[in-house]
Amino acid sequence: MLPVSSVVIALPGGAHESQNNNRTARGEHKSNKSEKLTRRRECTILNSREDALKRWLEQFFGLSGHQTTIRREVVAGLTTFFTMSYIVAVNPAILNAAGMPLGASLTATILTCIFGTLLMALYANRPFAIGPYMGENAFIAFTVVHVLGYTWQSALGAVFVAGVLFTLMTLFRLRQWMVDAIPATLRYSYAVGIGLFLTFIGLNQTGIVTIGAPGAPVRPGHLTSPAILLAIFGFLLITVLTMRRFPAAILISILVTAVLSFVLHVSPAPTAWISLPPSLQPVLFQFDLHSLLSWGFFPVVLTILIMAFVDTMGTLIGVSARAGFLDQDGNLPQIERPMMADALATTFAAIVGTTTSGAYIESATGVEAGGRTGLTSVVTALCFVGTLFFAPFISAIPPQAYGPALIFVGLLMLTPITRIPFDDLSELVPAFGVISLMAFTYNVGIGMTAGFVLYPFCKVVSGRLGEVRPALWALTALSLLFFVFYPYS
């Protein structure tokens, strides 16, 4: 039994310890309360910043005015990117055939896409992505370099001059003057022709349609092969998801089909996920202007100028018709802004070492996914930034994945054909020329220039010359020069 003194002394000690515990508990309670308040302040700050960002995006891009949302724009931007991401691999491969370094061309291609698409987003506020044109790069690689014997540096010089001329024409509104003179019938035929052109590209890249023999230019591929069956599955998946009004149907189909392609070993899986961007030095500022002093080089410059002009115009008007951007007269409001974006992108492309660039036909996939403002293009551009470091993965997406998207979008772009007056041959013949030649010559420029020649001809023959605007005669003259000097060999 403890002594009384020990008990007396122990009582104050226990009380002291209890007081300490109470103080500790109160301290911990205050500390927890302080941490909760801090977390609440941080959440409030984050929420306010998020709200401020949403308000800024709404005001800058006018989302509500275009009846769209941030989520829809993001999905549309991703859709456009995945549909046109094949250029990360295809464009450098084509330019490599002209002797241009593969790695440097890859970096130049991506940088041009980023620069042009951001310019389209922030200056023009349109959901159009910009990249090197696939037709023009083939023209430069196989015609200018291999057939005509010029160097790729000289070809880039022609691209640079074309970009500067485009910029000046846009500043002085000459391009808009010409575009305004294009009849509504031709504008709608561009959308239909590009739709069939996209469809043919998709059918060919997936292997559903292949190159044939003399007398039969095309033939069906091996329709029971795993690759083609997978492409057919991708098309049907887009169809089902779209009919069921599933959000991001095209994007989901591309990703699902790509994953199945890797799993089923239909196409090789990416060997790596991340890599540093290759050096741009071998192609940077390498364009050569000396060949411009040669008269024999004139057809090259003229061809690049006309092809780029009509390709951009056709894409802008064709995709805009599908998006509902055209006014009641069939004109695209403030068309000089997207035209300036593609003019500067072409100039930039020649400087960094790649070919003519402009608004991409594949932007139609993003428009179909709901993209209506430049926010779509911002998302696409940011995705291209990622390809600088994720090029091995992006370039591994096979044609069986993105090809069905091209086919489906081509189908959707046939809609404007109902607005072509089939009871007026002076309108129908030029439209038919545009649509058929775009698809069957595998060249958008050929179809468009044919329309510029056929339309005035039909109006003159029908005694309705007054329906042809003066600027259209200028386009007719340029188109005739295009056909005369085009390097058909």
Q: With respect to residue 7, please indicate whether it lies within any of the assigned structural domains.
A: no
Residue 242 dihedral angles phi and psi, to the nearest 5°: -70, -45
CA distance 238 to 337: 33
Is residue 249 one of the residues assigned to a domain?
yes
CA neighbor of 286 nearest in space, from 115, 489, 104: 104
Residue 76, in any domain of the structure: yes
Cβ contacts of 140 within 8 Å, gap of 6 or more: 95, 98, 152, 155, 159, 304, 355
Tokens representing 353 are: 């070492």
List helix spans (H) across 85-149: 87-96, 102-119, 134-138
- Lowest-pLDDT range of 45-59, 116-130, 251-265, 420-434: 45-59
Find the helix or strand (DSSP H, E) in which 424 lies.
none
Distance CA 43, CA 86 (A): 40
Structure tokens, 345: 């992108």
d(CA 121, CA 127): 7
In this prediction, residue 247 carries a pLDDT of 64
Local confidence band at 21 (pLDDT 50, 70, 90 cut-offs): low
Q: What is the pLDDT of residue 437?
A: 92
Beta pairing, strands 216-220 & 209-213: antiparallel
Helices (H), 220-335: 226-243, 249-263, 298-323
Question: Does the structure show a pLDDT above 70 at 40?
Answer: no
Output the pLDDT for position 246.
78
CB 484 within 8 A of CB 451: no
pLDDT recorded at residue 32: 62
Q: Is the dihedral of CA 168, 310, 332, 323 positive or negative?
A: negative
CA–CA separation, 181 vs 166, rounded Å? 18
Domain count, the chain: 1
Q: What is the overall mean pLDDT for the chain? A: 85
**Statement: residue 414 has pLDDT above 60:** yes
Q: 16-30, 117-131, 265-279, 451-465 — which is least confidently predicted? A: 16-30
- What's the pLDDT at 3? 46
Q: Is 10 within the bounds of a domain?
A: no
The Cα–Cα gap between 40 and 197 comes to 56
Q: How far is CA 349 from CA 137, 272, 279, in A?
A: 12, 28, 16
Lowest mean pLDDT across 260-264, 327-331, 400-404? 327-331
Query: Could you tell me the pLDDT band of residue 29, with boundaries at 50, 70 and 90?
Result: low
Q: What is the pLDDT of residues 438-466, one digit of tens each?
A: 888 877 778 888 999 999 999 999 999 99
Answer whether 185's CB lies under 8 Å from 421's CB.
Answer: yes
Position 218 scores a pLDDT of 87
Task: Quick: pLDDT tens for 354-399.
Answer: 999 999 888 988 998 889 999 999 999 999 998 898 777 767 788 8
Q: Is residue 303 part of a domain?
A: yes
Instruction: Check if the beta carbon of residue 468 is closer than 8 Å to that of residue 477.
Output: no
| Cβ contacts of 90 within 8 Å, gap of 6 or more | 134
Q: Looking at the domain assignment, is residue 351 inside a domain? A: yes
- Residue 368 confidence (pLDDT): 85
Candidate ranges 186-200, 303-317, 349-363, 393-407; pick with highest mean pLDDT: 349-363
pLDDT at 13: 52
Distances (CA, A) of 169 to 39, 159, 176, 338, 339: 56, 15, 9, 13, 10
Question: Average pLDDT of 474-484?
Answer: 86
Q: In the prediction, which pLDDT does 18 show?
A: 55
Residue bearing tokens 């309705």: 464
Is 402 within a domain? yes
Band of the pLDDT at 35, cuts 50, 70, 90?
low
Instruction: Answer yes or no: is 49 within a domain.
Output: no
pLDDT digits (tens, 9 = 90+) for 241-281: 989 877 668 878 888 998 999 999 999 988 887 888 888 99
Amino acid 7: pLDDT: 43
396: containing domain: 63-485
Q: How confident is the model at residue 28 (pLDDT cuts 50, 70, 90)?
A: low
**What integer pLDDT is reported at residue 133 of this predicted model?**
87
Residue that wins the pLDDT comparison between 426 and 191:
426
